[in-house]
């Protein structure tokens, strides 16, 4: 298939390479040129505008925020140039309201829209081991699935409403942020009593919390390995705000999310905006008077 790709960032570059390795022709566009040069050397067709990228069978997008997607695909007029029958698989974490809007807009234009947010970090994307959440009209999901499978460990079908996958992704990121904060607070408690955080995390991830997410983030926090960032702090704040908005829309209180929002704001105010979102945990140590060393 011809696959358009918009948004070749840290995650997107790994995904794009997996799509090419799967035998698909890639037409790539990005706001900055440098990530495209490497892909061009590996066989990707670099296109000049987003409108050129939608001349494809399937479009994959991985952009940071609702408003960026709106600007690149809608405000630019790119969707009006889409090849008839195009299916757009949006890998970004977006608000529930935006997923619903995109689904309506694509349907009005005779196009397919699949919410396909992913679970995993850049190294997981490069290895083709992302968990991909997928929801939307069944025909659109079927057409997008062979492309999604090129970079997926598993594609998780979540029904025919595009917003469903977005809700699940928001909930997952909310749970991950809660875990990061908890690891920070638990580590600060251990160190207050003379036990190193690394020793605590070894026990936790080797027994009660022997799960990949706990192991990955406990290791990052133990080593204070917050740079280079796989997922920057402001994006974590964005996702917590998405959770709060989704909760409010259905009268569902999320008190922990409110605490996390303040924690992310504190971390950004402390100068950590360019660090990985796992640097949220450093706030627990600062509040205990024991900044991470």
Instruction: Kindly report, residue by residue over 100-122, the tens digit of the pLDDT.
Output: 999 999 999 999 999 999 999 99
**Run of H or E residues at 60:** strand 58-61
CA 203, CA 260: separation in Å to the nearest integer?
25
pLDDT of res. 41:
93
* Cα–Cα distance measured from residue 108 to residue 106, given in angstroms and rounded to the nearest whole number: 5
In a domain, 292, yes or no: no
Segments of 86-190 assigned E as strands: 87-90, 112-115, 118-119, 130-136, 152-157
Q: Looking at the structure, tell me whether residues 210 and 266 fall in a common domain.
A: yes
169 is catalytic: yes
Quick: pLDDT tens for 253-276: 999 999 999 999 999 999 999 999
Q: Is residue 19 part of a domain?
A: yes
pLDDT tops 90 at residue 10: no
Claim to verify: residue 138 and residue 226 sit in the same structural domain: no
- Rounded Cα gap, residues 151 and 127, in angstroms: 8
Report the distance separating Cα 266 and Cα 280, nearest Å: 9
Residue 293 pLDDT more than 90? no
**How many alpha carbons fall within 13 Å on the CB side of residue 41?**
6
- Whether 31 and 134 map to the same domain: the answer is yes
Residues 6+ apart with CB under 8 A from 215: 205
Domain region containing 172: 167-287
The answer to whether residues 42 and 139 belong to one domain is yes
| Percentage of the chain lying above the pLDDT 90 cut | 97
Are 140 and 254 in a shared domain?
A: no
Report the CATH number that the domain containing residue 214 is assigned in CATH: 1.10.1040.10
What pLDDT, in 10s, does the model give residues 28-86? 999 988 889 999 999 999 999 999 999 999 999 999 999 999 999 999 999 999 999 99
Q: What is the pLDDT of residues 157-171, one digit of tens each?
A: 999 999 999 999 999
Among candidate residues 109, 143, 153, 169, the one labeled active-site is 169
pTM (predicted TM-score): 0.95
Structure token pair of residue 199: 């020793």
Do residues 102 and 65 both lie within one domain? yes
- CATH number for the domain spanning 23: value is 3.40.50.720
DSSP, collapsed to helix, strand or coil, labels residue 177 as: helix
Q: What are phi and psi of 149, to 5 degrees?
A: -65, -20
**150 and 187 co-located in one domain:** no
Could you count the other beta carbons within 10 Å of the beta carbon of residue 269? 10
Q: Which of 160, 180, 202 is the last residue of a domain?
A: 160
Are 101 and 223 contained in the same domain?
no
């Amino acid at each position: 298939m011809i696959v358009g790709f918009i948004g070749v960032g840290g995650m997107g570059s790994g995904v794009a390479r997996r799509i090419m390795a799967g035998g698909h022709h890639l037409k790539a566009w990005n706001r900055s040129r440098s990530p495209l040069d490497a892909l061009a050397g590996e066989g990707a067709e670099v296109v000049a505008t987003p409108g050129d990228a939608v001349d494809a069978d399937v479009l994959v997008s991985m952009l940071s925020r609702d408003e960026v997607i709106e600007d690149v695909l809608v405000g630019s007029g790119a969707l009006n140039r889409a090849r008839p029958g195009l299916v757009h698989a949006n890998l970004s974490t977006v608000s529930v309201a935006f997923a619903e809007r995109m689904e309506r807009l694509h349907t009005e234009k005779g196009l397919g829209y699949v919410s396909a947010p992913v679970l995993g970090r850049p190294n997981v994307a490069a290895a083709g081991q992302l968990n991909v959440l997928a929801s939307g009209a069944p025909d659109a999901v079927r057409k997008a699935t062979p492309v999604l499978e090129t970079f997926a460990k598993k594609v998780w079908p979540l029904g025919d409403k595009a917003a469903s996958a977005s809700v699940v992704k928001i909930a997952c990121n909310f749970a991950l942020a809660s875990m990061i904060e908890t690891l920070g607070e638990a580590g600060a408690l251990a160190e207050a009593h003379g036990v190193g955080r690394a020793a605590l995390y070894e026990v936790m991830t080797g027994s009660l919390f022997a799960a990949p997410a706990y192991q990955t983030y406990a290791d990052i926090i133990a080593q204070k390995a917050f740079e280079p960032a796989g997922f920057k702090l402001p994006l974590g704040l964005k996702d917590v705000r998405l959770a709060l908005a989704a909760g409010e829309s259905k009268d569902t209180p999320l008190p922990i999310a409110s605490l996390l929002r303040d924690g992310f704001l504190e971390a950004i105010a402390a100068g950590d905006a360019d660090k990985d979102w796992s640097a949220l945990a450093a706030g627990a140590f600062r509040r205990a008077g024991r900044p991470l060393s």
